[in-house]
Structure 1
C-alpha cells in the first residue's frame, strides 16, 4: 500500500481501492472478531483462501493503514476498526425486512398505540389515529405515505440495532440513539464525522395550527435544522429538540424527573417536546420564544435564527 503524500495518508480513491477484494474484507472482519492480535497462521486459517502467497499479497495491501503488525501479531489499526464497525452496523449493506408493527408505546397526542417500521436507515413512527406531524419528504422516493398514515417522524437507527430486539425494544433503543445524536448536534458536533455543524431556525409566517400546515408541511411553526460542514449529514426537527443540549432545558427536564436518555416513559418525553408553546417575536431578525410547562412550573427560552438561546426565564 502506498501513501499519496509525505504524511503517509491515503487518498479516498486509494483507501477504497485497498478494500476492493473479498479476501481483504474477510481479513478485516476476522481481525475485528479476534479478541487479541493474530499470528499469520491463525489469521490465514480463518479465511477460505488456499494460496498462502495470494493471502499474503492481500494482507500486505492492508498493512500500513488498515492493519498493523507487531510482536503480538496482526491487528486492526484505527481505520480498519472503523471499516469493520461500518460493516457490522449493516449501514452500508443490510436492508432488513421490518414491516409496520404495532407496539405498546402510546401516542403523546391521542394515547393510541404507535406503529413502527424500519426503512432507509431509520425507524419510522406512526399513529393511525392522528394526522401526519410532518410531510414525509426524506427517505426513498417510492416510500410515499397516504395523508391518513399518521406519520410522526423518523429515528435514525442502523440495521444491527434490530438484531435480538423485539419491536418495542428497538423503538426505545432508536429513541435513545436519536437523543444522543441531537445532544451532539446541539453542542456543534456532527454525530457522523465530528466536524462542526451549522444550525438554524426556520419559522412559518403563515402557520396553520390545526394539524399539518399546508404552507410548511409541519405541525410545528418553528423548526430546527442542522447541516455538517464536512459530510452529508443533516437533520431537521421541532425547534425544541434542537435545544436539547441546553443546560437550562436539561435541568428543567431532570428537575421534573424526565431523563432524556432513559425516560421512564418515551411518551412523557415526546409529549414534553410536542406540547410546548411557540411565540414568534419577529421574523427579521428571527426571534422565537419557546415555553415549556411541567407541574405548574414554566421555562421560557428566547432563541435567535441560529438556534442560540439569548434569554432564559422561569
Structure 2
C-alpha cells in the first residue's frame, strides 16, 4: 500500500484493510515499543515471519500511511502512532469488569465511603448512603441504563488506567482524566477528534429539587449537553461541568488550593462541582446563575444557553 496513488489519504475501507493482518499489527506494535526507527533486519527479527519476502509484503502494505521509511530505518507515521495508542490504551481490545468495590475516599456530600465499578468504558461512582444524583447512566452500551441506588455519575477511563492502581487511585486518576476531557469540551474542542463541539444548556421546566427530579431525571435543574458533529463523542451532566475551562472558575478553584488536574485534589473539586446553588433567571433566552462555595468564599457566574459566562461574575462574596 502507498498513499502516493491516493493523494496522501486512504479511505476508511482501505485503512482498515491494511490493518486486517496480525503481522501488520505486530509491525506497528514493535515499532511503537522500539521508540526509535528500526532497520529492516531489526524489525524482521522481531516478527514470527518465516521469510523476508512475506515480511516485506506486509511492511509494504503499511508503508506510505502507517509506517514511514527514514534515513535511520522504519518508524511509525502519525496514523500508525494513533493505532498503537488505541491498542495500548485497551480501548479497542479490552473490556474488563470490576465489580462494585469500596474505596478509601469519602462521599463529598455525606462523608460515607465511596464505591466504584468499571463498566462500558467508564468508572461509575456510588455512595452507599446518599440518594442518587442521577437515576440512570447515559454512558452504558445501549443506554441510558437504569442504575443502582446512590449513583453519583460516571468517569470515562480507558482500561489501561486500571493497571497497577488501587481502586482509590483508579478513582482519582479517572477524575483527573475526565476533567481534562471537560476542559476540552468547555473550550469547544472534541477530546476525541479535535473537531468543534456543540454545547447547550437546558433548564428543567418543572424541576423538583427534592431528590432526583422525575422530569429531568437529575438532581440538577440546569443540565449541560455537548456533542461532536464529526464523531460519536457526546457528554452530558450538571451545567457546572461545562464551566471548568472558564477563567473565573479556574481562578477560584486554584485560589482555594484545588487543582482540577491533580489526583490529590480532584475529589475536592467534585464536591465544589456537585454541591453548588443554581438559579434559573429566564428560560427564553436561558440565563442561570451558578454559585460555588469553597473555604467560606462564594463565586456566582451567570451563564447563557451555550454554557458561556456572560456579564462576568455575579454576586461574588466572602
TM-score range, shorter chain: over 0.9
Q: Secondary structure at the match of 1:100?
A: strand
Look up the match of 1:235. 235
Aligned mates of 2:146, 2:227 — CA distance in 1: 26
Question: Could you say if the C-alpha distance between residues 89 and 10 of structure 1 is closer, same or farther in structure 2, counting changes exceeding 3 Å?
Answer: same
Gaps of 5+ in 1: none
Figure out how many residues of one structure are paired with residues of the other and give that number.
313
Give the drift of 1:295.
3.0
Tell me the alpha carbon deviations over residues 105-124 of structure 1, each in whole angstroms, 9 at most, x when there is no partner.
11111111000011111111
Gaps of 5+ in 2: none
Q: Secondary structure at the match of 2:92?
A: coil
Aligned partners of 1:211 and 1:219 also within 8 Å: yes
Aligned structure 1 segments of 4 or more residues deviating by more than 6 angstroms: none
Q: Secondary structure at the match of 1:252?
A: helix
Give the drift of 1:267.
3.3
Q: How does 1:173-192 map to 2 (within 5 A)?
A: 173-192=173-192
Question: Could you say if the C-alpha distance between residues 101 and 109 of structure 1 is closer, same or farther in structure 2, counting changes exceeding 3 Å?
Answer: same
Give the drift of 1:298.
2.1
Aligned mates of 1:103, 1:309 — CA distance in 2: 35
Look up the match of 1:138. 139
Give the drift of 1:270.
1.6
The TM-score normalised by the length of structure 1 is 0.95
2:57 corresponds to 1:57: yes
Aligned mates of 2:9, 2:267 — CA distance in 1: 47
Look up the match of 2:250. 250
Aligned partners of 2:100 and 2:115 also within 8 Å: yes
Q: Secondary structure at the match of 2:99?
A: coil
Aligned mates of 2:156, 2:146 — CA distance in 1: 18
Give the drift of 1:35.
2.7
Look up the match of 2:167. 167
Aligned mates of 2:303, 2:291 — CA distance in 1: 11
The TM-score normalised by the length of structure 2 is 0.94
Give the drift of 1:71.
2.2
